[in-house]
A and B are shown apart, each in its own frame.
Chain A
Amino acid sequence: MTLGSQLAGGFIGTLVWTTIVNTASARGHTRMDVPFLLGTVFTDNRRKARAVGYALHFVAGLFFVFPYAMVFTVVGYSSWWLGTLLGVLHAVFVGTILVNVLLPAVHPLMGTPETAANEIALIEPPGFLMLNYGRNTFLVLLAAHMAYGAIVGWVVR
């Protein structure tokens, strides 16, 4: 599988992922804002945080394509539906561990269940499946990752 197809798949997949999440946010389905969450690791200025966060998110989107490509290589096959299936696993991993557990652990402004009166958090923790950001958040997350996976599975050859 060529590096070019992997990067192209990751880029287009991230573009679509971002569009889906932003559309869902604009329509009131979720308060999840991944660029904001990532960017506020580095700055508490909201506008700068989003700029930094979008850059980081696109880099992450390019990197996440490699585990997908590894699976395609192992099974010797890639397709949109296999990518979609991996997207489901990806969404569950993000909702239960990556953003739910790991991000609050390293984020300087985000609260955790352990945060007490002697600390001050600026950003509420996402909670299990990121449901603190709205009841439909995981569905949005799932749809976005399935789309990302489908595109990666389709483009990566």
Chain B
Amino acid sequence: MRTDGYAPIEDYALIGDGRTAALVSRDGSIDWMCLPNLDSQSVFAAILDSDRGGRFELHPSIPFQSSRRYLPHTNVLETIFHTDRGSVRTVDAMTLPGRSLAPMRELVRVVDGLSGSVPMQCRFEPRFAYGAAAPRREMRGHIPVASYRAEAIALVAWEAGGPAWRGDAVEASFEVRQGERSHLAMITASGEPLVIPGKTAVDARLSETIAFWQAWTSARDYDGPWMEMVLRSALVLKLLILAQSGAAVAAPTTSLPEEVGGQRNWDYRFCWIRDAFFMISALLELGCYEEARSLFWWFLQATALTAPELHVLYRLDGGIAPREREVALAGYRGSRPVRLGNAAAEQTQLDVYGDMMEAASRYSDGHHAVDADTGAVFAQIADHVCDIWRLPDDGIWEVRNGPFHFTHSKVMCWVTLDRAVKLAERGEMPSRDVPRWKEEAGAIRRFVEEQCWSAKKNSYTRTSGTEEVDASLLMLSHVDFVDPRGPQMRGTIDAVVRELSHGDFVYRYLARDGLPGREGCFLNCSFWLVAALARAGRLDEANDLMARLAARSNDVGLYSEEVDPSSGAFLGNFPQALVHLALIDAACAIRDASRP
């Protein structure tokens, strides 16, 4: 049910092709899509501005109810619309290019009549440049085309009522009877002529796309509990990777709000160094060795300009993220501003060094040796961390009232040096500075144990010298800083549950962070809690929480960044890589803890 034209975030499913992605709502409207790539300007942004954003609707023209799923082990979405006059099935997919000439990007919508005779309507409203640019609208023969600068979009249809421009939208109405099939294909070009496909070619690419996703999923070698959730998460993550560079966005959207009507609206279409650690770990767990190598190479290329200093996030093409700015969209249910760019890029977050080094360590453990040139760069990074770990920073949660001495950041600095020593001892990094790395790692450990521990709460603390706890502390056992089953970690888990949990969910922290408004519970924190419980040997608690979280996904197995703990409504950008990465890690932790 839409509110003021906006569907609940949990009503969306994601389709994509490794270049861009689209959000499809339960009522058949594609309300978000950027072209040509994940981080390009939007062409459909109704999710951020119901009036001006642009959308691609396809649904019965009479009242309907819908149910949907992904075709098994694919990123191809199937929606069944039930009406009083019969039922139809739509299949939505972004097709993958094959050997024959294909459009630059192709979004296919196929309608099959299942029973009766169902009247359908299509409304296609492309809007370029986040709704700011009026496209040139014309008909090329019987094909409606919208173009703006070097971008062009066309809607090709077969047995779908002859779409034509009516005002600023393409519209079509048609009837689908049992056994009949209609096709609509949105094709796009960027800086090249449009390639107009035939129906046979569209059908063939759709079949090949389904076959590719099923083959890719069957090649995953995860063998553990919560298999379907893990595989769905793997499929989501694959859509968040820009295939041409190997980089992954944190989420394919911008400015879906952390509080409806609030200002905590951020652009996540960048690659965070932090996600490297989680992503490479997950890819290796899933047997995606080539994707892991591609991402690792991308990190080496992206950080080459700035190493040994690392930025928090980079553009997908490896460039430095642009300054944050606002665009004139109304925002999801009035949640303004809608932001492009991300000011976190200018922050100091010391944990990224540990994330990078842990990624390298796991990559190396995964049978990809770190070569000598790369090892030399990592040695510089380790030296740099020796110089800077005593500085305060803005931390993993990117607070805007810092800097502080965050415990998690200090621990990740320890991770940097600990892994550097191990890589050097394996001969994959220069070893000349190993004594210094060991000495500084010891100093960090002493700082954390003496300054960041609360005897009163029997827990590590969020920052040095305070009594607050923070969900990021759940990661301390994951990175082997503390014994996962030891009293310190058990006490920290209990403190996080006692102070930050709300039902199945966990707040990041309760302290002020320099931003107005409230936020929901970050779902990745809940999965971190599952993993920490499993590693602590509290397997029953971990499995119970995992089961409850499984029930909190939307109907097609996706999670947003946050959830409103009282209503269960999704909040924040969607779907979010970190949540699905945390889910995979939690499942792996349960699997490992279950082994005799």
Cβ of A115 < 8 Å from any Cβ of B? Answer: yes
Q: How far is the CA of A102 from the CA of B297 in the complex (A)?
A: 22
B212 touches A118 (CB 8 A): yes
The answer to whether A47 and B371 touch across the interface, beta carbons within 8 angstroms, is yes
Is B246 in the interface zone, CB < 8 Å from A?
Answer: yes
Question: A31-B301, A118-B96 are known contacts. Are A111 and B244 too (CB-CB below 8 A)?
Answer: yes
Question: Which residues 79-130 of B sit at the A interface, judged by CB distance below 8 A?
Answer: 96-97, 104
Interface-centre pick from B17, B36, B37, B244 (highest chain A CB count, 10 A): B244
Known: A31-B304, A124-B298. A46 touches B318 (CB 8 A): no
**Complex CA distance for A30 and B305, rounded to whole angstroms:** 6
Given A116-B18, A124-B298, A134-B319, the answer on whether A47 and B304 have CB atoms closer than 8 Å is no
Query: Which of these, A28, A119, A132, contacts B318 with CB under 8 Å?
Result: A132
Query: CB-CB < 8 A to B37: which residues of A?
Result: 113
Determine how close the nearest CB of chain A comes to the CB of B250; give it in whole angstroms: 18
Residue pairs across A and B with Cβ atoms less than 8 A apart, 20 shown, are A25-B304, A28-B306, A31-B301, A45-B371, A46-B371, A111-B243, A113-B190, A115-B244, A116-B243, A117-B16, A117-B18, A117-B212, A117-B216, A117-B243, A118-B212, A118-B216, A120-B246, A121-B294, A123-B301, A134-B319
A114→B105 CA distance, assembly (Å): 8
CB-defined contacts of B373 to chain A, threshold 8 Å? 46-47, 50
Given contacts A111-B245, A134-B305, contact A123 B297 (CB under 8 A): yes
Q: Which residues of B contact A (CB under 8 A)?
A: 16-19, 36-37, 96-97, 104, 190, 212, 216, 238-239, 241, 243-247, 290-291, 293-294, 297-298, 301-302, 304-306, 317-320, 371-374
Least CB distance from A43 to B in Å reads: 11
Interface size class of A (residues with CB under 8 A): 20 to 34
**B contact residues around A46 at 8 Å (CB):** 371, 373-374
- CB <8 Å contact, B104 and A113: yes
Contact between chains at B317 and A114 (CB < 8 Å) = no
A134 to B238 Cα, complex, angstroms:
26
* Contacts A31-B301, A123-B297; A117 near B96 (Cβ below 8 A): yes
User: A53 in the interface, Cβ–Cβ < 8 Å?
Assistant: no
Chain A residues positioned under 8 Å from B19 (CB to CB)? 113, 115-117
Residues of A within 8 A of B (CB): 25, 28-31, 33, 45-47, 50, 111-125, 127, 131-135
CB distance from B586 to the nearest CB of A (A): 25
Residues of A within 8 A of B241 (CB): 117
CA distance A115 to B20 in the complex (A): 11
Known interface pairs A46-B374, A117-B96. Does A132 touch B319 (Cβ–Cβ under 8 Å)? yes
Q: Quick check: B374 and A121 within 8 Å, CB to CB?
A: no
Contact of A135 among B16, B238, B319 (CB under 8 A): B319
Give the complex CA separation of A134 and B304 in angstroms: 10
Closest chain-A Cβ to B364's Cβ sits at a distance in Å of 14
Asked if residues A31 and B318 are in contact (CB atoms below 8 Å), the reply is yes
Partner of B301, one of A115, A118, A119, A124: A124
Residues on B with C-beta less than 8 A from A134 are 305, 319
Contacts of B301 in A (CB 8 A): 31, 123-124
Minimal beta-carbon separation of B423 from chain A (angstroms): 16
**Contact indicator B239/A117 (Cβ below 8 Å):** yes
A122 to B244, CA, bound (A): 8
Complex interface: chain B residues within 8 A of A132 (CB): 317-319
- Provide the residues of chain B in CB contact with A115, threshold 8 Å: 18-19, 243-244
Residues of B contacting A45 with CB < 8 Å? 371
Query: Shortest beta-carbon distance, A48 to chain B, in Å?
Result: 9
Q: Given A28-B305, A132-B317, A132-B319: A120 and B290 within 8 A (CB)?
A: yes
A35, chain B: closest CB distance, angstroms: 12
Instruction: Take A123-B297, A124-B318, A127-B317 as given contacts and tell me if A31 and B305 are in contact as well, using a CB distance cutoff of 8 Å.
Output: yes
Q: Which residues of A contact B97 (CB under 8 A)?
A: 114, 116, 118
Can you name 12 extra interface pairs (CB under 8 A) apart from A121-B243, A122-B246?
Answer: A25-B304, A31-B302, A114-B97, A115-B19, A116-B18, A118-B18, A118-B96, A121-B245, A125-B244, A132-B317, A134-B305, A134-B319
Q: Is the CB of B318 within 8 A of A133?
A: yes
Least Cβ–Cβ distance between B151 and chain A, in angstroms:
13
**Contact status of A114 and B246, CB under 8 A, knowing A46-B374, A133-B318:** no
CA distance A134 to B16 in the complex (A): 28
Contacts of B317 in A (CB 8 A): 124, 127, 132
Expressed in whole angstroms, the minimum distance between the Cβ of B370 and any Cβ of chain A is 10
Known: A47-B372, A124-B244, A125-B244. A116 touches B294 (CB 8 A): no
Residue of A nearest to B244 (CB): A111
Task: Give the Cβ gap from B406 to chain A, nearest Cβ, in Å.
Answer: 28
Residue of A nearest to B235 (CB): A117
Q: In the complex, what's the smallest C-beta–C-beta distance from B305 to chain A, in angstroms?
A: 5
CA distance A135 to B320 in the complex (A): 9
Residue of B nearest to A121 (CB): B244
CB <8 Å contact, A116 and B319: no
- Please measure, in the bound complex, the distance between the C-alpha atom of A118 and the C-alpha atom of B209, giving whole angstroms: 9
By a CB distance below 8 angstroms, the chain B residues around A127 are 317
Q: How far is the CA of A119 from the CA of B301 in the complex (A)?
A: 19
CB <8 Å contact, A117 and B17: yes
Q: Across chains A and B, which 9 residue pairs bring their CB atoms closest together, nearest first?
A: A117-B18, A111-B244, A124-B245, A115-B244, A132-B317, A31-B304, A120-B290, A116-B18, A118-B96
Task: Name the contact of B17 in the complex, choosing from A47, A116, A122, A124 (C-beta under 8 A).
Answer: A116
Q: In this complex, which of A45, A117, A135 has the most chain B Cβ atoms within 10 angstroms of its Cβ?
A: A117
